[in-house]
Amino acid sequence: MEIVESLLLDPALKNYHLLPSVKGNFLLKLGRKREAFEEFQRAASLTQNVQEQKYLLKQAKDCME
């Protein structure tokens, strides 16, 4: 998680949608569903790919079930 956090601070990667997705997966495995939900939502907002958006939004929705 520390590595992901440090990468999120890198200006060159701040809009890279896969980083919040990875963080969301880690948070979900830790049982921190609300935070995971927020990261998947953030990841979905950063990608322009409709299929990726759908997948990430489903990941977010699954966190809240």
Q: pLDDT (tens digit, 9 = 90+) per residue, 7-61?
A: 888 999 989 999 999 999 999 999 999 999 999 999 999 999 999 999 999 999 9
**Structure tokens belonging to residue 49:** 């790919």
Helices (H), the chain: 2-8, 18-29, 33-46, 50-63
CB 57 within 8 A of CB 40: yes
**Structure tokens belonging to residue 21:** 């997705």
| pTM confidence score | 0.90
**Structure tokens belonging to residue 19:** 């980083």
- Residue boundaries of the structural domains of the chain: 2-63
Report pLDDT digits (tens) over 42-55.
Answer: 999 999 999 999 99
**CA 22 – CA 4 distance, rounded (Å):** 8
